[in-house]
């Protein structure tokens, strides 16, 4: 069974950089032609796509976040990571990772991790 799990700090200060990792178990991050994505959901609000990455190719970013976001992959650890710079309170959200099956939808999702930006 494929499982994804997000990890990272729960609290970060304004202007600092957030680093999150998504660890994949039950399959290899390099198997088949999947994308792997990052998403977030501010408290009480809807979902927002951040970025998705293809292990053997390109990474695509939400234009509204592109200048602050970097996604990287570590195939040796079966992980992919998110780096978000210049944090503000507006970046407070639950951050999710998920497998992007292209037209077949986002499945499965990690359980999510709450990140609070506050001094």
Partner 1 sequence: QSALTQPPSASGSPGQSVTISCTGTSGDVGTYNYVSWYQQHPGKAPRLMIFEVSKRPSGVPDRFSGSKSGNTAYLTVSGLQAEDEAHYYCSSYVDPNKLVFGGGTKVTVL
Between the alpha carbon of residue 30 and those of residues 7, 35, 38, 64, 110, the distances in Å are 20, 10, 17, 28, 18
Closer CB to partner 1, residue 19 or residue 94? 94
Closer CB to partner 1, residue 16 or residue 27? 27
Q: At closest approach, how far in Å is the CB of 62 from partner 1?
A: 7
Q: At closest approach, how far in Å is the CB of 78 from partner 1?
A: 20
- Name the site residues for partner 1 (rule: CB under 8 A): 35, 37, 46-49, 52, 58, 60, 62-64, 96, 100-107, 109-112
- CA 26 to CA 33: how far, in whole Å? 16
Which residue in this structure is represented by tokens 């998504």? 22
- Which residues are CB-neighbours of 70 under 8 A, at least 6 positions away? 82, 83
Closer CB to partner 1, residue 10 or residue 103? 103
């Amino acid at each position: 069974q494929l499982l994804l799990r997000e990890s990272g700090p729960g609290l970060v200060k304004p202007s600092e950089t957030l680093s999150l990792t998504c660890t994949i178990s039950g399959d290899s991050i390099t198997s088949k032609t999947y994308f792997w994505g990052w998403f977030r959901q501010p408290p009480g609000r809807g979902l927002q796509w951040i970025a998705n990455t293809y292990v053997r190719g390109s990474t695509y970013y939400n234009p509204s976040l592109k200048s602050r976001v970097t996604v990287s992959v570590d195939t040796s650890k079966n992980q992919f990571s998110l780096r978000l710079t210049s944090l503000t309170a507006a970046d407070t959200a639950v951050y999710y990772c998920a497998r992007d099956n292209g037209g077949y939808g986002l499945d499965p999702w990690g359980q999510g991790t709450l990140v609070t930006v506050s001094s």
